């Protein structure tokens, strides 16, 4: 036994250095009904598993619904083994099940024969559900397979998803673009307020069911986001009887987490709820070096810390009014406090290189955030298979109160400083979402999707700023930084998608989305020296656009396909991009929003090819993206005498990006599998003569590799490495970045419990930096936003029992514990 474990460890570590591979697209659908061979009555809650016949890897799995039905969608071409089982019956197997193209394979009745022995034990299927599944317009990531993210935040989990990256400020990037639309359960979440990054840092990774990444989403989805859409689906268990899971963890730098999920279902209702607590502490450091045209220089180093506590509560219920009608009501509450500290130490040099003096600056910021939302969901299925009507109405609100203080001294009186300041900030936002979707199938290959959506977002942001006056020794109101900003963001949309096949191997989908959008802003000044009519500045953005989407899919030989897609998208300015409040947290680098920004207009073309080669799933995508009216943070000027730089968002002409993405999943055997991702693109910024931005271009690329290994019974390991090469920016280039994570998972207590240990940023290389060149100065900067290595130990335990009426139904195998029960299994 020990020798075998050593061999597995050695093989696992060796194969982690293997080449990057590719992964195939999911195309087909398999359906059937599990019935009793004697009575022909359907068997509900029977377990159904689809496995790769050659590798025995589990591809799909779940349980039948109340009518004994199951549907597996998104199945790549290949040869499979289908297995159905239920306590008291002999297991059913169907081998050599061949799937080709985009077919819908209806298997009809699968007959289970009663077992000769009532003591028959469960059939145990070795293997794990895939970490990544490919759909026509999306990649679906299974967080349960990410051991290295256990006990972490949603931000840390997203950083481990192929195609995605997360920078030092928590901005999510997709294929080199940080203009990505983040949705939670298919819509913008009011819990986030004006800062989705803050919510992602506080949201526990283990509260997430799955992550959907759409680089070229169809007209059905919100067209916002230059790079695409990331949809985070939160857990909402629908299981029989009462069950739940409890977890707790702790690790380096005093990071802790705990939570519990509960679920109860009977014949008419499903009740669910959960609570998560997270204490986070992220110390960091960095430097900034500005060299001005006159030869003078300002160099600073920083020591910073971000910490806080968050509490998330989820409650909800589903009412099964009829066999085909479901009503749902749910609520979410998020409470979090954020404590940020940054100590800046400046050294000032004159044009000869001599030191003028030094200046320390201490910044502290405390915030209390409250967010809540209510959701009402409706689903109605009709007699025609696949025809359904769904609707959602949600309301959410978020509030934030904060106090920010600055203190600064200088060793030389010629150094211009802000000796002290207190900023009192307040934010209040409301979100309303109204959505109706209807699906009408005409045949197995032909269907129409249509729908309507309205999103309403209102926000009020206020800042009261008091500056310290050395002459009076008192804090006095600074009306230059005291103001109010109100914003109304309204979008009305209609869409239609039509899907059909012209032959057995060629299919298409065309869609059109029409949107009317409004962005109304008002800037209010409290300066008493201004006339009342001059204290308000209003802005209005009113535009109508149509967003087409086209998908053409051609099946080639068995196991390979080709798809061409085009979509038009938009990136609407909002939040701190349009808020003209002046951010003076760094006294030599001021930042400010721009309420006059125009929306980006994006055209995306993508050609994807997939191929299955034995144990390897391969997919490659070539894409070209044109973005007009590009929004970038631009350094406008450097103040004479003080060398303070001013940065703001601007529309700077056009950006073109042409790239290739390669994804692979390789299964060596039932103990070892690998996933690799490579993305490279050539970006070209046209520049802007108006804002003094020169044209800039270059090749950017990043790659990651995740390796999973079953070391011994109940013990699995995972290693992940991520490298990001230097990237081209509008006014400079970023430096390379590399980080590596590792994790172990040990199943205990008859597989009801697990112990997970992970170590992030093993080599302490998770740092972001670069250079920036403007007409006034040259700058070098770096920030280490996650000190490492950082370890986390997480314990979890599953518990529960069935209803008396449901005791006859078998418990799921652990391998399919988190698969959906009944209906379509994606």
Task: For 626-661, write each residue's pLDDT tens digit.
Answer: 999 988 888 766 655 566 778 888 888 888 999 998
Determine the Cα angle at 585 with ends 579 and 590, to 5°.
60
Measure the CA–CA gap between 567 and 562, rounded to whole angstroms.
17
Tokens of 509: 């989908």
The domain spanning residue 215 has which CATH number? 2.170.130.10
The model's pLDDT over 246-304, given as tens digits with 9 standing for 90+, comes to: 999 999 999 999 999 888 888 788 898 999 999 999 898 999 998 988 888 999 999 99
Mean pLDDT over 220-244 rounds to 74
Tokens of 477: 């109101």
Nearest to 11 by CA among 667, 675, 670, 672: 672
Residue located via tokens 């307020």 = 193
Whether the pLDDT of residue 817 is over 50: the answer is: no
Phi-psi bin for 522: left (phi > 0), alpha (psi -120 to 50), beta?
beta
Together in a domain, 143 and 260: no
Whether the pLDDT of residue 357 is over 90: the answer is: yes
Whether the pLDDT of residue 780 is over 50: the answer is: yes
What integer pLDDT is reported at residue 809 of this predicted model?
Answer: 40
- Helix (H) or strand (E) segment spanning residue 682: strand 672-685
Measure the CA–CA gap between 146 and 237, rounded to whole angstroms.
19
Alpha helices in 587-682 (DSSP H): none
Nearest to 179 by CA among 591, 600, 576: 600
Q: Is residue 105 part of a domain?
A: no
206: Cα within 13 Å, side-chain hemisphere = 25
Please compute Rg for the chain using Cα positions: 28
Domain boundary among 234, 265, 298: 234
Q: Is residue 549 part of a domain?
A: yes
Together in a domain, 205 and 252: no
Measure the CA–CA gap between 818 and 63, rounded to whole angstroms.
11
Nearest to 395 by CA among 420, 414, 379, 376: 376
Together in a domain, 274 and 319: yes
Q: Is residue 466 part of a domain?
A: yes
Q: Is residue 277 part of a domain?
A: yes
Together in a domain, 191 and 332: no
Q: Higher model confidence: residue 675 or residue 794?
A: 794
Q: Phi then psi for 4, rounded to 5 degrees?
A: -65, -40
Q: Give the end-to-end CA distance of the chain in Å, rounded to a whole number.
A: 37
Together in a domain, 227 and 277: no
Length of the chain: 826
DSSP structure class, residue 598 = P
Together in a domain, 697 and 642: yes
Together in a domain, 490 and 636: yes
Q: Higher model confidence: residue 766 or residue 809?
A: 766
Tokens of 199: 């919510």
| Most confident stretch, 62-66, 216-220, 445-449, 450-454 | 450-454
Together in a domain, 308 and 413: yes
Together in a domain, 247 and 223: no
Q: Is residue 805 part of a domain?
A: no
- Helix (H) or strand (E) segment spanning residue 185: none
Residues 723 and 703 sit within 8 Å (Cβ to Cβ): yes
Which residues touch 640 (CB under 8 Å, ≥6 apart)? none
Together in a domain, 214 and 283: no
Tokens of 456: 């309403």
Whether the pLDDT of residue 767 is over 70: the answer is: yes
Q: Is residue 661 part of a domain?
A: yes
Coil, strand or helix at 206: helix
Which residues touch 792 (CB under 8 Å, ≥6 apart)? 150, 151, 152, 249, 250, 251, 252, 255, 757, 758, 759, 760
CA 622 to chain CA centroid, nearest Å = 22
Against a cut of 0.75, is the pTM above it?
Answer: no
The domain spanning residue 402 has which CATH number? 2.40.170.20
Q: Is residue 35 part of a domain?
A: no
The sign of the CA dihedral 145, 149, 155, 160 is negative
301: Cα within 13 Å, side-chain hemisphere = 3
The model's pLDDT over 372-398, given as tens digits with 9 standing for 90+, comes to: 999 999 999 898 888 999 999 999 999
Mean pLDDT over 597-605 rounds to 91
What integer pLDDT is reported at residue 53 of this predicted model?
Answer: 74
What percent of the chain stands above pLDDT 70? 82
Residues 679 and 176 sit within 8 Å (Cβ to Cβ): yes
Together in a domain, 216 and 256: no
Burial class (CB in 10 A: 0-12, 13-18, 19+), 698: middle
Domain count, the chain: 2
Q: Is residue 164 part of a domain?
A: yes
Together in a domain, 336 and 370: yes
SS3 content of the chain, % helix, strand, coil (to 5): 5, 65, 30
Residues 546 and 512 sit within 8 Å (Cβ to Cβ): yes
Measure the CA–CA gap between 790 and 603, rounded to whole angstroms.
41
Tokens of 106: 């209806």
Burial class (CB in 10 A: 0-12, 13-18, 19+), 219: buried
204: Cα within 13 Å, side-chain hemisphere = 31
Q: Higher model confidence: residue 414 or residue 164?
A: 414
What confidence category does residue 424 fall into, taking pLDDT thresholds of 50, 70 and 90? very high
Q: Higher model confidence: residue 127 or residue 6?
A: 6
Measure the CA–CA gap between 553 and 608, rounded to whole angstroms.
9
Domain boundary among 216, 234, 252: 234
Whether the pLDDT of residue 20 is over 50: the answer is: no
Residues 658 and 607 sit within 8 Å (Cβ to Cβ): no
26-57: b or e for each residue (b if 16 or more CB lie within 10 Å)? bbbbbbbbbbbeeeeebbbbbbbbbbbbebeb
Residues 560 and 611 sit within 8 Å (Cβ to Cβ): yes
Residues 79 and 98 sit within 8 Å (Cβ to Cβ): yes
Whether the pLDDT of residue 689 is over 90: the answer is: no
Please give the residue range of the domain that contains residue 218. Answer: 133-234
- For residue 705, the cross-strand partners are 676, 721
Domain boundary among 234, 259, 279: 234
DSSP structure class, residue 17 = T
Tokens of 705: 């590799």
């Amino acid at each position: 036994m020990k020798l075998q474990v050593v061999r597995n460890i050695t093989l696992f570590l060796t194969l982690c250095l293997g080449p990057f591979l590719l992964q195939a697209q999911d195309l087909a659908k398999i359906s059937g009904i599990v019935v009793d061979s004697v009575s022909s009555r359907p068997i509900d809650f029977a377990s159904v598993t689809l496995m790769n016949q050659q590798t025995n890897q589990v591809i799909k799995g779940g349980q039948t619904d109340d009518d004994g039905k199951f549907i597996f969608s998104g199945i790549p071409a290949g040869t499979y083994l289908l297995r159905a089982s239920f306590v008291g019956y002999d297991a059913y197997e169907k081998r050599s099940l061949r799937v080709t193209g985009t077919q819908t394979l209806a298997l009809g009745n699968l007959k289970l024969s009663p077992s000769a022995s009532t003591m028959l034990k469960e059939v145990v299927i070795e293997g794990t559900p895939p970490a990544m599944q490919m759909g026509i317009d999306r990649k679906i990531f299974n967080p349960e397979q990410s051991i290295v993210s256990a006990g972490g935040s949603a931000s840390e989990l997203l950083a481990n998803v192929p195609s995605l990256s997360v920078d030092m400020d928590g901005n999510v990037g997709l294929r080199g673009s940080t203009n990505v639309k983040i949705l939670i359960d298919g819509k913008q979440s009011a819990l986030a307020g004006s800062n989705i990054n803050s919510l992602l840092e506080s949201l526990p990774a283990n509260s997430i069911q799955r992550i959907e990444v759409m680089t070229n989403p169809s007209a059905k989805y919100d067209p916002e986001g230059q790079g695409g859409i990331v949809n985070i689906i939160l857990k909402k268990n629908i299981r029989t009887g009462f069950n739940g899971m409890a977890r707790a963890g702790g690790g380096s730098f005093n990071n802790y987490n705990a939570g519990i999920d509960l679920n109860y279902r009977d014949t008419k209702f499903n009740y669910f709820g959960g609570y998560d607590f997270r204490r986070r502490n992220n110390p960091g450091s960095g430097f900034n070096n500005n060299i001005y045209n006159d030869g003078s220089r300002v160099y600073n180093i920083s020591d910073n810390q971000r910490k806080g506590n968050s509490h998330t509560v989820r409650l909800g219920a589903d009412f099964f009014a009829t066999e085909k009608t479901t009503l749902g009501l749910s609520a979410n509450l998020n409470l979090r406090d954020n404590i940020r500290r940054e100590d800046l130490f400046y050294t000032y040099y004159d044009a000869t290189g001599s030191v003028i003096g030094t200046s320390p600056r201490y910044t502290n910021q405390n915030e209390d955030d409250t967010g809540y939302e209510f959701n009402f969901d409706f689903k109605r299925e009709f007699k025609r298979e696949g025809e359904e009507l769904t609707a959602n109405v949600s309301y959410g609100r978020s509030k934030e109160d904060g106090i920010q203080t600055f203190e600064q001294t200088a060793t030389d009186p010629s150094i211009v400083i802000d000796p002290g300041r207190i900023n009192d900030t307040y934010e209040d936002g409301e979100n309303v979402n109204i959505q109706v979707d209807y699906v009408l199938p005409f045949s197995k290959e032909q269907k129409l999707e249509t729908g309507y959506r309205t999103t309403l977002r209102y926000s009020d942001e206020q800042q009261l700023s008091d500056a310290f006056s050395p002459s009076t020794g008192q804090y006095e109101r600074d009306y230059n930084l005291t103001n109010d900003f109100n914003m109304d963001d309204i979008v009305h949309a209609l869409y239609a998608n039509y899907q059909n096949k012209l032959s057995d191997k060629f299919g298409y989908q065309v869609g059109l989305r029409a949107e009317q959008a409004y962005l109304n802003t008002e800037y209010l000044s409290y300066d008493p020296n201004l006339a009342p009519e001059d204290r308000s500045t209003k802005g209005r953005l009113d535009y109508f656009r149509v967003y087409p989407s086209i998908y053409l899919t051609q099946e080639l030989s068995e196991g390979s396909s080709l798809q061409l897609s085009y979509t038009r998208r938009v990136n609407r300015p909002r939040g701190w991009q349009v808020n003209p409040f002046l951010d003076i947290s760094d006294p030599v680098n001021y930042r400010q929003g721009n309420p006059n920004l125009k929306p980006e207009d994006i055209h995306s073309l993508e050609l994807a090819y997939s191929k299955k080669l034995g144990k390897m799933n391969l997919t490659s995508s070539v894409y070209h993206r044109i973005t007009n009216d590009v929004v970038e943070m631009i350094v406008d000027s450097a103040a004479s005498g003080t060398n303070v730089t001013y940065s703001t968002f601007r529309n700077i002409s056009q950006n073109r990006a042409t790239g290739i993405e390669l994804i692979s999943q390789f299964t060596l055997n039932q103990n070892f599998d690998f996933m690799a991702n490579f993305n490279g693109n050539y970006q070209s910024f046209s520049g802007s003569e108006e804002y003094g931005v020169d044209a800039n271009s270059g090749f950017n690329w990043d790659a990651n590799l995740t390796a999973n290994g079953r070391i011994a019974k109940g013990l699995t390991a995972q290693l992940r490495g991520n490298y990001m090469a230097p990237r081209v920016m509008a006014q400079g280039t970023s430096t390379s970045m590399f980080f590596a994570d590792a994790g172990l998972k040990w199943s205990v207590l008859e597989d009801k419990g697990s112990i997970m240990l992970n170590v992030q940023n093993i080599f302490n290389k998770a740092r972001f930096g670069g250079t920036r060149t403007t007409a006034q100065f040259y700058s070098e900067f770096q920030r280490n936003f996650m000190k490492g290595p950082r370890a986390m130990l997480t314990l979890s335990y599953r518990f529960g029992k069935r209803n008396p009426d449901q005791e006859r139904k078998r418990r799921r195998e652990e391998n399919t514990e988190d698969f959906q029960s009944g209906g379509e299994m994606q």
